[in-house]
Structure 1
């Protein structure tokens, strides 16, 4: 059996004792630290992107296949949901899926946040 944190156990619909996570490295416990790397500049709306290393994606795929799970709530999808919610609370700004003023890219392999601003041409 795989060693998974409480967040991954719950997300995958599995029972077990939460442990140091082989899949996400307990990233959900470090979300607030990552959020400290974001800043509130001049923007009205935002979106979030997440970069995961290919090994993590493959490991998750393997777990889903081996345990015959649905795979509906992937790690990436859950991270996007949590990060969007927390940033919306932090900045009190709206999430814009189509054409955001800024996209916060969370690079989890390098543990950094890269803001990408959409340029406004006048």
Structure 2
């Protein structure tokens, strides 16, 4: 009986485990352009689709859009080194073939801390 109780307790604990909803600090390369919003962390071999519910990325995206315009099409996907706080939302679900579903995970940016050249 005790092994069964232990097994049930462990399963309940794992079933309740959930990704942290608290923002974590990230640093890496952010690439932006037409249908692209990709973040690659400095020390991780993952690609995240970045978005922001509170418009934290808006200033960065506007700056990169201006870079695209100024480059006259020579650089349609500019990149910057970025530091921000965000929440890893895990693997995106495939929903009508949306672009984010082809990346490793979704990242919701809550606050951009620093932007720099690569």
Asked whether the two chains share a fold, i.e. TM above 0.5, the reply is: no
Structure index of larger Rg? 2
What TM-score do the two structures reach when normalised by structure 1?
0.29
Structure holding more helix per residue: 1
Structure holding more strand per residue: 2
What TM-score do the two structures reach when normalised by structure 2?
0.29
